[in-house]
Amino acid sequence: MNSILSVKNIKKSYRDGEVTVNVIHDINMELARGDFVSIQGASGAGKSTFLSILGAILLPDSGTITINGKNLEDYSREGKIHEYRKNHIGFIFQSHYLMPDFTAMENVMIPLLMRGIKNQAAKQKAMEILSKVGLKERANHYPSQLSGGESQRVAVARAVAPEPDIVLADEPTGNLDSHNKKIFIQVLEDLQKSRDLTVLVVTHEQDLAAAAGRRYFMKDGYLSQM
Ligand SMILES: Nc1ncnc2c1ncn2[C@@H]1O[C@H](COP(=O)(O)OP(=O)(O)O)[C@@H](O)[C@H]1O
Ligand SMILES: [Mg+2]
């Protein structure tokens, strides 16, 4: 398998005063390039904690994460966690977190410019991907002028545009009505297929979970394949 992400024996607990709560017990996972994987599970199961660990927002207590053959601890030791996030991970959250003072196109351009892509090329790339998510006509609109569904599609475009190794999505349809959910799932599926993206999505939604090629269920910090 052409492994892009390897997760081995990850454990994580939170300390709250005297009390230690074990949230992630022992998680193992392999992702190959082009995998589309979903994780379902009840609230409190540890899904967001797991994604935060993969995105290097949280450190695990033990275990190893290897991305493209390089250990996450090595990035940390070399002071390159920021680089890891910038170059390898694309995040989509339940809220879009678009920057209100920038247009849809500028919001998509920013991570490209941060990667050193020149203005004109970044603009072209942003337009291309905004067209793909059906927002060509909305490129020059500000977030306040976009609906929730449109904003969330801009967030997808922003996550995908820099061609990250992995796209992590945490309840990305959680704030959408059923019509926009459908559109969102279609857009994500199309992008995933056409660009051979590696996507790991955490969700309550059956429809979104079912769009994935491989499905997992998380319960009390354990992951099982469905
Ligand atoms: N910063 C934190 N400090 C203490 N406990 C936390 C913290 N974040 C999450 N938890 C607890 O960890 C468990 C898993 O949370 P989370 O990963 O958010 O689950 P999910 O995303 O599946 O709903 C929950 O019991 C939650 O209360
Ligand atoms: Mg969560």
Residue 216 in this model has a pLDDT that exceeds 70: yes
Enclosing domain of residue 100:
3-225
Q: Rounded to the nearest 10 degrees, how much is the dihedral formed by the CA atoms of 67, 70, 74, 79? A: -70
Residue 75: alpha-carbon gap to chain centroid: 19
Residue nearest to atom 10 of ligand 1 (CA): 14
Instruction: Give the CATH number for residue 80.
Output: 3.40.50.300
Residue nearest to atom 24 of ligand 1 (CA): 44
CA 119 to ligand 2 centroid distance, Å: 35
Q: What's the pLDDT score for residue 35? A: 97
According to DSSP, the β-strands at 3-16 and 19-32 are antiparallel
Task: Determine contact, residues 57/20, Cβ cutoff 8 Å.
Answer: no
Instruction: Quote the CA–CA distance of 205 and 169 in Å, as a whole number.
Output: 13
CA 44 to ligand 1 centroid distance, Å: 6
Residue 189 in this model has a pLDDT that exceeds 80: yes
Written as six digits, the tokens of 75 are: 């990035």
Q: Determine if residue 41 is left, alpha or beta; phi over 0 gives left, psi from -120 to 50 gives alpha, anything else beta.
A: left
Q: What's the pLDDT score for residue 87? A: 87
Cα→Cα distances 58→101, 185, 192, Å: 29, 28, 26
Q: Which residues line ligand 1 (CB under 6 A)?
A: 14, 16, 21, 23, 41, 43-49
Nearest CA to 154 among 165, 166, 163, 142?
Answer: 142
CA 201 to ligand 1 centroid distance, Å: 17
Mean pLDDT over each residue of the chain, to the nearest integer: 94
DSSP element (H, E) containing 4: strand 3-16
Query: Which of the listed residues 12, 19, 23, 53 should we mutate to test ligand 1's pocket, taking the one with most ligand atoms within 8 A of CB?
Result: 23
CA end-to-end span of the chain:
20
Full-model pTM: 0.94
pLDDT tens-place string over residues 107-157: 999 999 999 999 999 999 999 999 999 999 999 999 999 999 999 999 999
Split into its structural domains, the chain has a count of: 1
CA 173 to ligand 1 centroid distance, Å: 20
The β-bridge partners of 67 are 5, 70
Instruction: Quote the CA–CA distance of 111 and 157 in Å, as a whole number.
Output: 11
- Of ligand 1's listed atoms, the one at least distance from the Cα of 49 is 17
Instruction: Quote the CA–CA distance of 93 and 174 in Å, as a whole number.
Output: 9
Q: What's the pLDDT score for residue 16? A: 87
Please compute the mean of the pLDDT values over residues 35-59 and round it to a whole number.
Answer: 94
CA 137 to ligand 1 centroid distance, Å: 39
pLDDT band at 2 (very low <50, low <70, confident <90, very high): confident
CA 159 to ligand 2 centroid distance, Å: 19
Residue nearest to atom 8 of ligand 1 (CA): 49
Instruction: Quote the CA–CA distance of 103 and 108 in Å, as a whole number.
Output: 9
pLDDT tens-place string over residues 52-103: 999 999 999 999 999 988 899 899 889 999 888 888 999 999 999 999 999 9
**Residue 135 DSSP one-character state:** -
Q: What's the pLDDT score for residue 1? A: 58
CA 42 to ligand 2 centroid distance, Å: 9
Query: Which of the listed residues 11, 19, 21 should we mutate to test ligand 1's pocket, taking the one with most ligand atoms within 8 A of CB?
Result: 21
- Measured on CA atoms in the order 125, 130, 132, 137, is the torsion positive or negative? negative
Residue nearest to atom 26 of ligand 1 (CA): 44
Residue 221 in this model has a pLDDT that exceeds 90: no
